[in-house]
Every structure is written in C-alpha cells, then in structure tokens.
Amino acid sequence: MGITLVQLQGLCASEGFPKFTAKQMCDWLYKKRVDTIDAMTNLSLAQRARLNEVACIGRHTPVNCQVSRDGTKKYLFMVPSEGTWRATSASKDAPSTADVARHVPTAGIEAVYIPDDDRATLCVSCQVGCKMGCRFCVTGRQGFHGNLSAGDILNQLFSIPEFESLTNVVFMGMGEPMDNLDAVLDACAVLTSDWGLGWSPKRITVSTVGILPGMKRFLDECQCHLAVSLHNPVPQERLAMMPVQKAFPLNQVLALLRQYDWSGQRRLSFEYTMFRGENDDLAHAAKLAEALQGLECRVNLIRFHESDEAPYKTSMPSTIAAFQNYLNRHGVTCTLRASRGQDIDAACGLLAGKNA
C-alpha cells in the first residue's frame, strides 16, 4: 500500500521481474484492492512466493469505530511507532507484519468519515501527533510521535466499509501534511493517477499551517486543493496561538500564494477558527479582508470546539454571523463550516487517538 508505479517498477527491476509486472501489481493494489499477495493471480507462483518473502500488502482494519449522533464516524487505527523501528533499522522500509506484532510498539491515529447528503468526506491523518504546537489543538498538545507512510495514510480509506461511497478526502486529521510531504504526495499520486484510483485532484484538499518550503513544493508538484490554517490576521496574536508564525510569518505565506494562479481548477481556502474575544471582532475581520484583498480564495469559519486542554472559548453565534457578513460584504467569500462529530471528539482540532 502506498507504493507508486515508479517505485514498484524499481522493485520489479531489483527482483528480476518484467517491468509490466509493476502495472499488474498497481491494478491489484488500487483498483481491485486485494489484501493478500496470493490474490494477485496473474503473477506467477514464483513471483508471488518471492513477494511474500520481501513485502506485505500493508492493509489493516480499524480497531474501533465511534458513531456520532449526526452520523459522523471516527475510526481508530493502530500503526507502528516510528521512533522505534526507523531509528534502529538500516532500511527505510516498514517492518513486516510479523515484526510489528512481535517487537514494534504501536500508536493510535484517527480518521473521520463525514456523510452529508450526496457527499461523503474522509478526514485522514498523516502523522502520529503533531510538531506544530498550536495552542487550540488537542492533537498538537500530545506532541509528535512519528510520520505515517503513504500506505498508512491510504489504509485509512481502503480499510473502512464506506470506501465505495467516498466523494472527497481532506488531509485535516492528525499531523501537519507539509511536515510529512513525501508520504502525502505519494498518497495523492495513488489517489489521482490513472494507474491508481484515477480521482480528480478536485476531490482532495490538503491543509497546512504555512510551512513555506513544503507549500511551494506541494503547489509545484500537485494539483489538489490547498487549505491554509490562518486563525488570526494580527502577527503577534497569531504567534501567541501558532508558533509557526515565528518561522513562517503570515505575510510571507500570502506572498507565496499570490505567485500562483487560483482562477482555474485548484482552489485556495483559509481556515479561521473563531475564539471568543480573541479573533472574532470586526476589527479582526477588517484586517483579514485587507490581508486577502485581491487573492482568489474563500474563508471557512470554524466554531471552536472547547476542551479542557485549550485556553479558549467558542464565539457567540451572533458574533460569527457578523464576522461572516463583514467579509462577504468586503469581497471575501466566506462560509461557516458545519460542526460534525463533536460528541465523539471527531470535530476539528479534537483528534488525539485517545481510545488507543
């Protein structure tokens, strides 16, 4: 899981398999979605035997599922604890299934399935925890415990019973996608390439707090939508909420984004969580409208989901409405994202693998 066509061609070359075998394996992995190598029946018995010695599919089912009153489902997956096996292995390859079972500690990551009329979105994780340390995010407060492989990311889609109904995927779960960009790009390649699932890039949105080197590479190499976590247009106030502001200031993030064309298929959005008395008055709305002036984008307002671990409160509905109306009147398209799954800690900023 997660290996691209080019990487499979490299595997075939190293094992002495014909080059076309890589395309056959892609078909089995991503179109037919087999969970054993022995199911790849147009590979020879000798090829399958050799693959069983050096590889595994990498599919694993969720160990728990919580269902919200609104139909949202939160799936818990157990993955290898990266800090143990990658630090001690001479190979960058993942451990075998048997090694994981015997030796490798595991950690919990979560994915959220969100049905909504004719849409069904899966919010996937890309890391165990997060390094970014945003003060309002429960995931960030647990610290960083490892990167997921592209296979671990894709497994969140392939191993849930609702896979066939999925219309969209958002990289907005645990972790910062630009901090694990190789795996995220490989996962997006599997989702959008003709040798993979063949989805339109318009079905995928990748989020970031504004890691400039990763953002530039993502924008140059991928056509999926981008969502930037903004949350406060005032530099010092944003820094108090989001440590990333020190390394990659918002003005530099916006300057980079203005270098790209957003009038076509790819969409740019900004995530803005509303904190009572912190960033929700009309003065902040005015500064936000000024910062985004002339940039083809939309702002998604998010109700803050309170927790014992974050020092903020939720904005009043009337305040959110006034903020939204101000932006729309001043030329910035603004919507309010519906809160889903809050009763099972599946809403924005609440994923933490607590049930692991």
Tokens of 79: 């993955």
Angle made by CA atoms 256, 177, 61, in degrees to the nearest 5: 160
Q: Tell me the pairing of strands 73-80 and 64-67.
A: antiparallel
DSSP code of residue 263 = S
**Residue 88: what pLDDT?**
31
Query: What are the structure tokens assigned to 240, written together?
Result: 């108090």
What type of residue sits at position 302? I
3-state DSSP call for residue 352? Answer: coil
Provide the 3-class DSSP secondary structure of residue 192: helix
Per-residue pLDDT of the chain (356 residues; tens, 9 = 90+): 999 999 999 999 999 999 999 999 999 999 999 999 999 999 999 999 999 999 999 999 999 999 999 899 999 999 876 543 333 333 445 445 445 444 456 788 999 999 998 999 999 999 999 999 999 888 888 888 889 999 999 999 999 999 999 999 999 999 999 999 999 999 999 999 999 999 999 999 999 999 999 999 999 999 999 999 999 999 999 999 999 999 999 999 999 999 999 999 999 999 999 999 999 999 999 999 999 999 999 999 999 987 776 788 999 999 999 999 999 999 999 999 887 777 766 666 555 555 55
Closest CA to 134 of 298, 271, 295: 271
**Res 248: pLDDT:** 98
Please give the pLDDT value at position 294: 93
Catalytic residues: 110, 348
Q: Which tokens in the block code for residue 2? A: 């997660």
